[in-house]
């Protein structure tokens, strides 16, 4: 059963698809206990398959656009994400749009529920940065089927009918690793994130490219994967301290600043000197990078610019002033900021 893209799916379509009554469908969608769990699941699955949107607003008040955009982020308690949301708010307000914001807390199942909520709220478009453990984007299919525009930002996934906004993580990580090598570092530990996500996979690739160019061997023992939290940084320090002195890294490149700083603190508490014993570089230029002593070398890119660009591009598409898919990727600038934490040789 194929639904026309120019009309909305109704409970009657679901009823016809399942060969049951519309009243049963209606009760099932409302989780009425009179309907068995098995039938309710069949109704829910069919509704998702056919692209049904629950009637949140009375049909007499319904319009093609709600002037509302959905925003899904992995977590709200991150400097980068809060900056991105500020940029989104500025762009949305300038065009008379509102935002509905939700977080996945890095769990794909929560992300899926949030996506369905956004769909049923009839958002005009969706902006999403993927959760850590999302292996595909099948849960976004209702948006693609109904031609509701989707823009990925920071953590992206390629799709022919979407646009991705971010930076060149591969080149940025290559620059950082090159800098550490120029400081005389030969055993560089990479404290990375989940390789399912493009940002961490690309940073890992850039790190390995720089090692290869300088004929430095890659060692799996110098690649740690974590959630890049404060605890992950402290655990990385414990891992380093448990290594025989001859096998310890002489530098750490962390895929974010938080893990880098907490790793630094733990190593300093154990008596290691930074950068003399071990140099450090992070990523994101969070405020914490300028509080830690010595200040942390990092990669600066504007979360606000990412958010503002993503929303502006989406709204321009909705207003018909530009096509969403003129480009499948918008790459913004990133700059290496060299600070004392990596300067083994005393100069950049």
Higher pLDDT, 59 or 123: 123
Percent of the chain whose pLDDT exceeds 90? 79
Domain co-membership, 39 together with 119: no
So what's the pLDDT on residue 87? 98
242 & 264 share domain: yes
On whether both 97 and 79 belong to a single domain, the answer is yes
What is the pLDDT of the chain when averaged over all its residues? 91
**Where on the phi/psi map is residue 249: left (φ > 0), alpha (ψ -120 to 50), or beta?**
beta
How many structural domains is the chain composed of?
3
Is 5 a residue whose pLDDT tops 60? no
SS (HEC) of the chain: CCCCCCCCCCHHHHHHHHCCCHHHHHHHHCCCCCCCHHHHHHHHHHHHHHCCCCCCCCHHHCCCCCCEEEEEECCCCCHHHHHHHHHHHHHHHHCCCEEEEEECCCCHHHHHHHHHHHHHCCCCEEEECCCCCCCCCHHHHHHHHCCCCEEEECCCCCCCCEEEEEECHHHHHHHHHHHHHHCCCCCEEEEECCCCCHHHHHHHHHHHHHHHHCCCCCCHHHEEECCCCHHHHHHHHHHHHHCCHHHCCCEEEECCHHHHHHHHHHHHHCCCCCCCCCEEECCCCCHHHHCCCCCCEEEECCHHHHHHHHHHHHHHHHCCCCCHHHCCEEEECCEEECCHHHCCCCCC
Regarding whether 291 and 182 lie in a shared domain, the answer is yes
CA distance 259 to 284: 11
| Position 38 confidence tier, pLDDT thresholds 50, 70, 90 | very high
* Separation CA 105–CA 307 (nearest Å): 19
Beta bridge partners of 45: none
Q: Which of 27-36, 77-86, 158-167 has the lowest mean pLDDT?
A: 27-36
The residue whose two tokens read 């709200």 is: 76
Tell whether 177 is covered by a domain. Answer: yes
Strands 150-153 and 125-128: parallel
5 occurs within a structural domain: no
On whether both 123 and 272 belong to a single domain, the answer is no
Please report the pLDDT score of residue 58 as a whole number: 40
Region label for 138, one of left (φ > 0), alpha (ψ between -120 and 50) or beta (otherwise): alpha
Beta-bridge mates of residue 329: 164
> What's the rounded Cα separation, in Å, for the pair 230 and 234?
6
Q: List Cα–Cα distances, 265 to 17, 179, 236, 270, 338, in angstroms.
A: 61, 22, 11, 9, 19
Q: Which residues pair with 73 in a beta bridge?
A: 103
Confidence of residue 2 (pLDDT cuts 50, 70, 90): very low
Q: Do 173 and 163 belong to one domain?
A: no
Q: Are residues 20 and 74 in the same domain?
A: no
> Which one, of 341, 307, 20, lies nearest residue 180 by Cα?
341
Residues 277 and 322 in one domain: no
Does residue 297 share a domain with residue 255?
yes
Task: Confirm whether 113 is domain-assigned.
Answer: yes
The CATH number for 238's domain is 3.40.50.2300
273-288: pLDDT as tens digits:
999 999 999 999 999 9
Span 91-97, mean pLDDT? Answer: 95
Same domain, 209 and 293: yes
pLDDT average, residue stretch 255-268: 98
**205-237 tens-digit pLDDT:** 999 999 999 999 999 999 999 999 999 999 999
The reply to whether 71 falls in a domain is yes
Q: Are residues 245 and 191 in the same domain?
A: yes
Q: Are residues 241 and 262 in the same domain?
A: yes
Please compute the mean of the pLDDT values over residues 122-150 and round it to a whole number: 95
Q: Which domain holds residue 26?
A: 11-50
Per-residue model confidence (pLDDT) at position 333: 95
pLDDT for res 324: 59
Residue 6 belongs to a domain: no
In a domain, residue 61? The reply is no
Residue 347 maps to a domain: no
Q: How far apart are CA 13 and CA 51, in angstroms?
A: 10
- Lowest mean pLDDT, pick from 103-117, 156-170, 311-325: 311-325
How do residues 44-83 score in pLDDT, each as one tens digit? 999 988 888 775 444 334 446 789 999 999 999 999 999 9
- Note the pLDDT of residue 62: 40
Tell me, what's the pLDDT at 17?
93
pLDDT given at position 171: 98
């Amino acid at each position: 059963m194929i639904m026309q893209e120019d009309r909305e799916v109704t409970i009657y379509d679901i009823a016809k698809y399942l060969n049951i009554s519309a009243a049963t469908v209606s009760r099932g969608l409302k989780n009425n206990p009179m309907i068995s769990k098995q039938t309710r699941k069949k109704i829910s699955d069919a509704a998702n398959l056919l692209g049904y949107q629950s009637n949140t607003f009375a049909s007499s008040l319904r319009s093609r656009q709600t002037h509302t955009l959905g925003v899904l982020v992995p977590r709200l308690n991150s400097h980068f994400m809060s900056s991105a949301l500020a940029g989104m708010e500025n762009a949305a307000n300038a065009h008379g749009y509102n935002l509905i914001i939700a977080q996945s807390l890095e769990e794909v199942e929560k992300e899926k529920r949030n996506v369905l909520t956004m769909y049923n709220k009839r958002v005009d478009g969706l902006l999403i940065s993927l959760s850590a453990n999302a292996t595909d984007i099948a849960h976004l299919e209702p948006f693609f089927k109904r031609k509701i525009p989707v823009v990925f930002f920071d953590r992206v996934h390629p799709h022919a009918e979407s646009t991705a906004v971010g930076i060149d993580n591969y080149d940025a990580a290559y620059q950082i690793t090159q800098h550490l090598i120029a400081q005389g570092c030969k055993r560089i530990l990479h404290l990375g994130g989940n390789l399912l996500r493009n940002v961490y996979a690309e940073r890992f690739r850039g790190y390995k490219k720089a090692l290869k160019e300088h004929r430095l061997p890659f060692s799996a023992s110098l690649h740690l994967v974590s959630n890049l939290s404060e605890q992950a940084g402290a655990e990385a320090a414990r891992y380093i301290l448990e290594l025989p002195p001859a096998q310890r890294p002489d530098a750490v490149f962390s895929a974010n600043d938080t893990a880098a700083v907490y790793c630094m603190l733990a190593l300093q508490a154990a008596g290691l000197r930074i950068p003399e014993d071990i140099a450090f570089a992070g990523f994101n230029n969070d405020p914490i990078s300028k509080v830690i002593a010595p200040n942390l070398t990092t990669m600066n890119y504007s979360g606000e610019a990412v958010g503002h660009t993503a929303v502006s591009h989406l709204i321009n598409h909705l207003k018909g002033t530009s096509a969403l898919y003129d480009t499948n990727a918008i790459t913004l600038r990133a700059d290496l900021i060299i600070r004392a934490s990596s300067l083994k040789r005393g100069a950049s």
